Structure 1
Amino acid sequence: MAVQKRFIAGAICPRCAEMDRIRSWEQNGIRYRECVSCDFFEQLPIEEQAAPELTTRVNRPHQEDTAEDFQTVKILDPKGR
């Protein structure tokens, strides 16, 4: 069975700097990339499972605000009245 090679849209070759000339394919657990304009060729092992994403305030589940999260503010009169 032939391996399907796909072009990577917008990719720039690190050797010749041509855009849309890089194609990629996977075979036997290895990812290959090559440029059709120059002799650039790269092979990378395929990672089985990515590391879990770090929890940040942006991606953590929404938590309901509680009364403990709020604090009363007293506005002071600068003239001392």
Structure 2
Amino acid sequence: MATQKRFIAGAICPRCAEMDRIRSWEQNGIRYRECVSCDFFEQLPIEEETPPELETRISQSREEPTSQSDDLQTVRILDPGQRH
């Protein structure tokens, strides 16, 4: 029986930085991951507590926008039927 290789949705290759190119499979107690775009390949024993997480669109770090109170302005909604 052939081992089924599955793509990891949103995973970014640590070598070529291409998204959705990593596929994973398990065989003989070892987890394999490879990139179909470059020569990245790794194998991890399944007994590990937590395998290193691959960076995805969701897990990749993003810089939080800095808010500056000087740039904030209050918006006032006007009612066209009401006169001031």
| TM-score normalised per structure 2 | 0.56
Q: Which has the larger radius of gyration?
A: 1
- Aligned pair count? 50
Superposed CA RMSD in Å reads 1.6
Q: 1:34 corresponds to which residue?
A: 34
What's the CA shift string for 1:2-51, capped at 9, x where partnerless? 00000000000000000000000000000000000000000000027x49
What is the distance in 2 between the residues matched to 1:3 and 1:46? 15
* Counterpart mapping for 1:33-52 below 5 A: 33-47=33-47, 50=49
Q: Which has the higher contact order (CA 8 A, sep 6+)?
A: 2
Q: 1:14 corresponds to which residue?
A: 14
What is the distance in 1 between the residues matched to 2:15 and 2:38? 8
Q: Which stretches in structure 1 are left out of the alignment for 5+ residues?
A: 52-81
Secondary structure (helix, strand or coil) at the match of 1:4 reads coil
Shift >4 Å, 4+ stretches: none
| TM-score normalised per structure 1 | 0.58
